[in-house]
């Protein structure tokens, strides 16, 4: 039995009839960018997250850039963020001339370390960008007081956490502004690229909408240099249909995470993900840690089990950010995790039989890696003796 890493076809099949019917109506009305469908989605997602304003945009990276710009980030300003994240968190800052300042993560959950945030603050720090990674919520109950003490803005990266919540509230509703991605593989995914900015501040919402429409709120009147970052109605239709199913799909992910925990308990050489106390995780990814990761991953792949690594290189060590001068060893938790993390198949339609297959192959691969490691050590000992 082959098991895909992600089964988008099953998800799309649930909404296909509804979406196609709405698309036909859009073709007749010729309402493709903005319009009633986008407005409706923005209102529905705002109600779901628990914020006053949502602005639909073209993708998650644009959403982050717009959020950074809307809170007044200027070239040279520093934005503190975790080293363990997708590059878009940093890339969006770099695109406006801001400086990403990376910090380490905690070893239990691989989320941004609040103590590391405080240590990284300088007179040039403008914002903190906590990332709600893997479907978890970052420790906002500790981050918010830090931001308040130092007069900093919080810009949440909520691209992997649609529906997640923690002690401080729902992901995307806690900071001054938040950005999310609706890339197809997200818990709430479009049929292409899409994203959104969320805020309770009407002025920030206005600036985001203005910037994303070429710096214009009235046609051909341009208040600032903006960009073209609008959400199209085709994607809004898909997102509206999926939003109505999101809680059910997240519950299915949670059930799958529980099954993995039972199936994989007690395996030597395997570290399972741990949920933060007070968190309601939505399990965007199920990330384990294993010894001999690359060898284990190769065996899973050979057996038809789809897996991933999120992420193989911490952002501070990528070639793109070599110029910032970070060195290996500065963020030991993120760096060690990058060598051992392995994302197992996780999606709402994952079956118990598929999970049993994953668990069986994974256990066999880990045992094989352990044997290979023992043999290698024995050979090395013979050579040195």
pLDDT in tens, 104-131: 999 999 999 999 999 999 999 999 999 9
pLDDT tens-place string over residues 71-104: 999 999 999 999 999 999 999 999 999 999 999 9
* Entry pTM: 0.94
Query: How far, in whole angstroms, is CA 269 from its chain's centroid?
Result: 26
Q: What would the two tokens of residue 154 be? A: 């919080």
CB contact burial 295-318 (16+ within 10 A = b; e otherwise) = bbbebbeebebbbbbbbebbbbbe
Determine the CATH number of domain 8-243. 3.40.640.10
Among 24, 186, 219, 242, the one annotated catalytic: 186
Mean pLDDT, the chain, rounded, equals 95
Predicted confidence band of residue 371 (pLDDT cuts 50, 70, 90): low
DSSP-based three-state secondary structure for 128: strand
186 has catalytic annotation: yes
170 beta partners: 165
φ and ψ at residue 69, rounded to 5 degrees: -70, -35
Ramachandran assignment for 22, one of left (phi > 0), alpha (psi -120 to 50 degrees), beta (any other): alpha
pLDDT score of 323 more than 90: yes
Q: Strand pairing partners for 286?
A: 344
198-241 pLDDT, tens digit each: 999 999 999 999 999 999 999 999 999 999 999 999 999 999 99
Instruction: Please give the Cα distance from 257 to 342 (Å, whole number).
Output: 14
Would you give the DSSP letter of residue 192? S
- Token pair belonging to 69: 């710009």
Integer CA distances (angstroms), 50 to 44, 45, 159, 287, in order:
10, 8, 16, 28
Query: Looking at domain 246-384, does it have CATH number 3.90.1150.10?
Result: yes
Q: Are 182 and 188 in contact (CB under 8 A)?
A: yes
What is the rounded distance in angstroms from the CA atom of residue 282 to the CA atom of residue 253?
7
Evaluate if residue 382 carries a pLDDT over 50: no
**Pick from 7, 256, 285, 260: nearest CA to 132:** 285
Q: Residue 367 CA to chain centroid, in angstroms? A: 31
Structural domain boundaries in the chain = 8-243, 246-384
């Amino acid at each position: 039995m082959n098991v895909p890493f992600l089964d988008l076809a099953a998800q799309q099949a649930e909404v296909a009839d509804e979406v196609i019917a709405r698309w036909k109506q859009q073709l007749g009305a010729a309402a493709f960018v903005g319009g009633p469908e986008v407005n409706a989605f923005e209102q529905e997602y705002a109600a779901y997250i628990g914020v006053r304003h949502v602005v639909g945009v073209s993708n998650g990276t644009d959403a982050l850039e717009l959020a950074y710009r809307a809170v007044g980030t200027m070239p040279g300003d520093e934005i503190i963020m975790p080293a363990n994240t997708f590059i878009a968190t940093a890339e969006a800052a770099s695109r406006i001339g801001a400086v990403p300042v990376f910090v380490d993560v905690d070893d239990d959950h691989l989320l941004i370390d609040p103590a590391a945030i405080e240590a990284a603050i300088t007179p040039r720090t403008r914002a903190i960008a906590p990332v709600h990674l893997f479907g978890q919520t970052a420790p906002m109950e500790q981050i918010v007081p830090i931001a308040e003490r130092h007069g900093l803005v919080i810009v949440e990266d909520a691209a992997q956490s649609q529906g997640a919540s923690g002690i401080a509230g729902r992901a995307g509703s806690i900071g001054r502004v938040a950005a999310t991605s609706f890339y197809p593989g997200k818990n709430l995914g479009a049929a292409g690229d899409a994203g959104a900015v969320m805020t309770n501040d009407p002025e920030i919402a206005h600036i985001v909408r203005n910037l994303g429409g070429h710096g214009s709120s009235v046609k051909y009147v341009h208040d600032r240099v903006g960009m073209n970052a609008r959400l199209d109605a085709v994607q809004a239709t898909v997102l509206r249909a999926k939003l109505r199913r999101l809680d059910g799909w997240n519950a299915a992910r949670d059930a799958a995470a529980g099954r993995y925990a039972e199936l994989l308990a007690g395996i030597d050489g395997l570290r399972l993900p741990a949920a933060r106390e007070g968190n309601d995780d939505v399990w965007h990814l199920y990330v384990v840690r294993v010894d001999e990761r690359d060898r284990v991953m190769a065996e899973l792949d050979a057996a038809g089990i789809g897996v991933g690594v999120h992420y193989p290189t911490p952002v501070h060590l990528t070639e793109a950010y070599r110029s910032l001068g970070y060195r290996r060893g500065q963020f030991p938790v993120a760096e060690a995790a990058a060598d051992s993390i392995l994302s197992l198949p996780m999606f709402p339609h994952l079956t118990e039989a598929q999970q049993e297959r994953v668990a069986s192959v994974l256990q066999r691969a880990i045992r094989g890696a352990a044997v290979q490691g023992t043999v290698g050590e024995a050979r090395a000992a013979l050579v040195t003796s």
